[in-house]
Amino acid sequence: MDISTGSGATEMPNVSTGLDVRGTPSDLNDGRPPPHLAKYYYQRHRLFHKFDEGIELDEESWYSVTPEKIAQHIADRFAGRQVVLDLFSGAGGNAIQFALAGAFVIGVEISKEKISFARNNADVYGVAQYIDFVQADVYEFVPVLVNSSPLVNGIFLSPPWGGPDYTSEEIFNVSIYSEIVRLAKEVCEDVGILLPKTVDLENVKEHFGQCELEHNYLGDKLKTVTVYFGALVCKPQAGCDPNLGDMSDWLTES
C-alpha cells in the first residue's frame, strides 16, 4: 500500500493550549510541578514509560492523554488494521501505540502545538515515520471523508471531555459525540471511542446503539471507558479473551 508520510501539517487556525509544562522536574517550578498538575506529573511514567527521554506535553495533554497501558490495549483491539485514523490525536499517546502495533496512523488534531509535541513524542518511541499528522478540525475533516472512500481500516476517537472538571458530573452525557461517531461509522464500520468513566450504559445505548462498552482499569482503579463498534466488538463466545467478560457490556439495539 502506497501511503504518503509527508512531514507537513495542513494549515488551519491554531488553538492555544495555555501553559507549556514538560521535561524533567527541574523544568517545573524549581523541581515542583504546579499544584493543579501535580497528580498527573507524579503519574508521568504511566502516561509514557519513556517520559524521561524527551516527552513533551502541553497543559491540556497532561490530563487528556491516554495512559500508555490503556493505549496499548486499545491498539491490540485494532490489531491487523493497516491504516488507523486517530481523531483528536493530541500529544500522540494513542497514535504511538497504534504505530507500535503495526499500523500506519493518520492523526488529526486542530492544535499546531500539539502536533509538534506529538511528532516529537513519536520520534522518542521510534515510530515517527509511521504516523502522518494532519492539522484540521475533526468536525470538518470527517464529513469530507464520508464521500471520498479513504483507505482506512479503523477509526479511533479520543475527544475532549471538558477538562478535569468532568468528574463533577454524576453522569457524562455522550449525546455530544453521537453525530461524529455516526459520521465516523460511515467512513469505516470499525470504530472505537474513548470516554470518561462516568458514562452511563443506558445513555450510551440510547445514543450509540449496538456496541461494546469496555471498562479500562489500571490496577483496581477504573480510569476510562472505551466503546467499540463493528468488527472491533469482542465477545467471549466469538473466541475473544474470556477475561473481557468481566469488564465489558454488550449493548444491542432495542
List, in sequence order, the alpha helices (H) in the chain: 38-41, 44-47, 59-64, 68-77, 93-100, 112-124, 138-146, 178-187, 201-208
Work out the average pLDDT over 59-64. Answer: 88
Residue 44 domain flag: no
pLDDT band at 24 (very low <50, low <70, confident <90, very high): very low
For the chain, percent of residues with pLDDT exceeding 70: 76
Report the C-alpha gap between 100 and 84 in whole angstroms. 12
pLDDT over threshold 70, residue 221: yes
pLDDT over threshold 50, residue 61: yes
Residue 21 domain flag: no
Report the C-alpha gap between 23 and 88 in whole angstroms. 23
pLDDT band at 235 (very low <50, low <70, confident <90, very high): low
Instruction: Strands of the chain (E only): list them.
Output: 83-87, 104-109, 131-135, 154-157, 191-196, 211-218, 221-228, 248-251
Instruction: Look at residue 234 in the predicted model and tell me its pLDDT.
Output: 80
CATH of the domain at 117: 3.40.50.150
pTM of the model: 0.82
pLDDT over threshold 60, residue 3: no
Rg (CA), the chain: 18
Instruction: Look at residue 168 in the predicted model and tell me its pLDDT.
Output: 58
Residue 185 domain flag: yes
Q: What is the mean pLDDT of the chain?
A: 82
pLDDT over threshold 60, residue 241: no
pLDDT band at 250 (very low <50, low <70, confident <90, very high): low
pLDDT band at 26 (very low <50, low <70, confident <90, very high): very low
**Residue written as grid cell 467499540:** 228
Lowest mean per-residue pLDDT among 69-73, 149-153, 164-168: 164-168
Instruction: Look at residue 19 in the predicted model and tell me its pLDDT.
Output: 38
Residue 51 domain flag: no
Residue 116 domain flag: yes
pLDDT tens digits for 112-137?
Answer: 999 999 999 999 999 999 999 999 99
Domain boundaries, position 94? 65-251
Residue 174 domain flag: yes
Instruction: Look at residue 40 in the predicted model and tell me its pLDDT.
Output: 85
Residue 32 domain flag: no
Residue 115 domain flag: yes
Residues 6+ apart with CB under 8 A from 83: 1, 3, 103, 104, 105, 106, 151, 152, 153, 154
pLDDT over threshold 90, residue 185: yes
Burial 42-67 (b: 16+ CB within 10 A, else e): eebebbbeebeeebbbbbbbbbbbbb
**Residue written as grid cell 470527517:** 142
Lowest mean per-residue pLDDT among 50-54, 173-177, 195-199, 244-248: 244-248
Number of domains composing the chain: 1
